Structures are given as structure tokens and as C-alpha cells.
Amino acid sequence: MALKRRRINRVATISVHTSPLDQPGTGDAGGMNVYILEVAKRLAALGIEVEIFTRRTARDLPPVAELSPGVLVRHVTAGPYEELDRAELPGQLCGFISGVLRAEAMYDPGRYDVIHSHYWLSGQVGWLAKERWGVPLVHTMHTMAKVKNLLLAEGDKPEPGLRVLGEEQVVEIADRLVANTSSEADELIQLYGADPGRVAVVNPGVNLTVFQPASKGAARHRLKLPQDAHVLLFVGRIQPLKAPDVLLKAAARMLVERPDLRSRLVVACVGGPSGNGLARPSLLTELAAELGIADVVRLAPPAPQDVLADWYRAADVTVVPSYNESFGLVALESQACGTPVVAASVGGLRTAVRDGVSGVLVNGHDPDDWARALLGLVGQPRRLAALASHALEHAAAFGWSATASRLVEVYAGAMAQLHRTPIAVNS
């Protein structure tokens, strides 16, 4: 007798601590927000509905909001209507889980075919929902405590044991673990004992419609940047993990080595304080003054994607000095705009940037090393042009549609294993 084929109709996406509606670059909003939003829209385009469960952080937020056709955001009341530090969120998980289960109970059984949780807190919620609904749990870590604790920035706080334990539990219970790169897959297997057969590598993507080349001069005009400037760009949350201080210190070294650059150098930092960076929200302003480079540093708030694309186009180089990145979407967005990247040789950045081809990878975080790498590019139009050309080629291979299609395969594999029936992959 032929087996009945099951189709993927609806995915429950769990994102406890940050909403895809939040502006990336401040608070807890970053690459994960972009990932969830872009994947949801691409899944909907494949005929798979997505419902995103996230914590309600304002009283006036509606219980359900349509993000785009086929994508709903469900705001779950769990704790006070305000942003909470992630350290406080484990205490709100019971309320969040209750809200998720109540939402599903309003419908006939079988509303969701698969759960995709993001970050360990969401994995804990997905764990219980999986058991109650009888559907597979697919989990993406995005960052891992054990990895972060091995690569701490100076003065940064290690991730607590509670998170380590929570991640270990999610790794044990998830039907599939999605790693952004093969190196992250290795970390899951080696540091967490994940079953290699349940780990799938799915590269994130970039919105190639928004992030694409355009006039550098026009972008600089819109951003009020000098046309003849040497622009070094940092984009991201202002916190020790992202290491914007390394860029500022490197810029100070550059000016010692090349004082003639001062009249044209612009170090632009686009983002807001986050995480441990909230303890010193004026860190970059103070550091720039201390280093004597306040005249070349320009700080800008987090920007929507269209404005962010202008920042990439306006820059000569985008600098990503993070101590760890599970992938590094900033590096990919920059390259898609035709701007090469100088990045730390860590984690997913080794995949996001082709060393010596689309950008330059730097070992360690010594400002002298970063200054040398940047001086090798500043004022070198031929080398920058060669890197920019290859950057476009490299980024073109990473589209969100390919990410979504690969995730559908992962979902189908998890469902087939759980139900022991073939799954009809949406096309």
C-alpha cells in the first residue's frame, strides 16, 4: 500500500527574546532578526505559512500582526511590557510557553507541521511544544555559550552555566540542528556532543535586491560624507563581543603611522548599545576622545536596510572585528553592495569572507595588526577595486531563497523521520 505523503503547510517559529519587527543594530536585535524575517518571507513565497511567536514588549502591540502575506507575528504576553535583559528571561519562559500552547489550542489539532526555534531560550519553549503537538523541533543556535566563553573580549562577562545547560538540553532534544556553517556544525558536535546525523548546514543569505551596488558618490552625498574621504565602516551592536573599540584603536595607530590621512579619514560606526555595552553607552565617544581621534569618528544610530545599504556603498571598507560570529551577515551585506570587508578570522566570518579575494581576514584583535591590514587597502584603488569585484561574485552565491529552500529540505527530513512517512517538499 502506498504511503500517504505529508505536505509542509505551516511552521511555528519561536523567537522569545527579540522580534523580527525590531530594528537590527540595537538592544538584542541583530542578524537573527534579519534571518527570521527573510526566511519567513521566502517560505511564504513557497506556499508555507509562518507564524512567529515572540514576547510582547509594549502594551499597544496587537496580539497578532501580519508581517507580510503568509507571515504572522504573534505577540505573547510573558512578564512586564518592556524589554528585559536576557538574564531575566528564563524566569518568564513558563508564561511564554503557556501563551504559545494557548494559541495553538484555539485551532484544530495539527495546525503546525514543524517548529523552528531560534536561540536557546526559544529552544526550551520548542522542547515542550514539540512534546505537546507531536511535531519535530528544528533549532538554530545563532550563538553558543561554550564558543563565546572560549573567545571572550577583554572585560566581557562569560555566559552563565544556566545557558550552557539549557543549550545542552536543546541539542539533546531537537530533531534537527541547523548550523550556519560547517565550522559551527563541528562546534555543535565537538563541544555539545550533537549527533552528526541530526546536524544540517544551511548558510544564511543576503537580500540581493536591497543590498546591491549603486553610486558611491550619491550615497556619500545622502549621508553627508566628503566625496574624497577614506571611509572605514562598522555596522552592528555596540558591545564588547562586536569589538568596535578594535577599529577605533586601529584608526589611532593608522594616524600615527600616516598623519597625512587625518584630513580625509572617516571612521563611521552605525549601531546602538546592546548587551554588556549598555553599561557604558557612551563608550565609543569616550574612547575616541581618549585616543585623540574624535575628529575622524562619526557615530550614527541603527539604520533601516535601505539606509544601511547606502552606508555600505559609501564606505571603502567595512570592518568586522567581532570576537565571534556564527556567520556575519554584515560582512555579506557589505560585499553584496560591492564593498570589501576586513574581518576577524573567527567562526562564520571565514565563510562569509573569502580571504584575499573578497576581503581580508585578520588573526587576533591586536590593533596594530588591524591597522596594518587597513593601511594595505586605504588609498589603494586598484586593490580595492579587485576585492570589490570578487566581493560581488562571492555575495551573489548567498540568497535567502536558497536558504529557505534548504530549510524546507531540513524540515521535510525531520518530519519524515518523526512520522516515518515521505514528505512532499513544497515547490
| Residue 67 phi, psi (nearest 5) | -75, -40
| Residues in binding site for UDP-N-acetyl-alpha-D-glucosamine | 23-24, 31, 237, 242, 325, 333
Residue pair 7/425 in contact (Cβ under 8 Å)? The answer is no
How far apart, in whole angstroms, are the C-alpha atoms of residue 289 and residue 34?
A: 33
Give the single-character DSSP code of 64.
E
Helix or strand (DSSP H, E) at 12: strand 10-15
**Do strands 64-68 and 71-76 pair parallel, antiparallel, or not at all (unpaired)?**
antiparallel
How far apart, in whole angstroms, are the C-alpha atoms of residue 160 and residue 149?
A: 9
Rg (CA), the chain: 22
C-alpha cell at 127: 522542547
Q: How many Cβ atoms from other residues are within 10 Å of residue 20's Cβ?
A: 25
| Residues in binding site | 17, 23-24, 28-33, 86, 119, 143, 163, 237, 242, 312-313, 315, 325, 333, 339
How far apart, in whole angstroms, are the C-alpha atoms of residue 76 and residue 117?
A: 15
| Residues in binding site for Mg(2+) | 312-313, 315, 339
| Residue 58 phi, psi (nearest 5) | -150, 140
C-alpha cell at 120: 536557546
How far apart, in whole angstroms, are the C-alpha atoms of residue 289 and residue 283?
A: 10
Q: Is 223 helix (H, G, I), strand (E, B) or coil?
A: helix
Alpha helices in 143-240 (DSSP H): 145-150, 161-173, 182-192, 216-223
Where do we find the cell 505536505?
A: 7
Residue pair 312/211 in contact (Cβ under 8 Å)? The answer is yes
How far apart, in whole angstroms, are the C-alpha atoms of residue 80 and residue 82?
A: 6
| Residues in binding site for 1D-myo-inositol 3-phosphate | 17, 28-33, 86, 119, 143, 163
C-alpha cell at 33: 532578526
C-alpha cell at 220: 556619500
Q: Is 266 helix (H, G, I), strand (E, B) or coil?
A: strand
How far apart, in whole angstroms, are the C-alpha atoms of residue 28 and residue 22?
A: 9
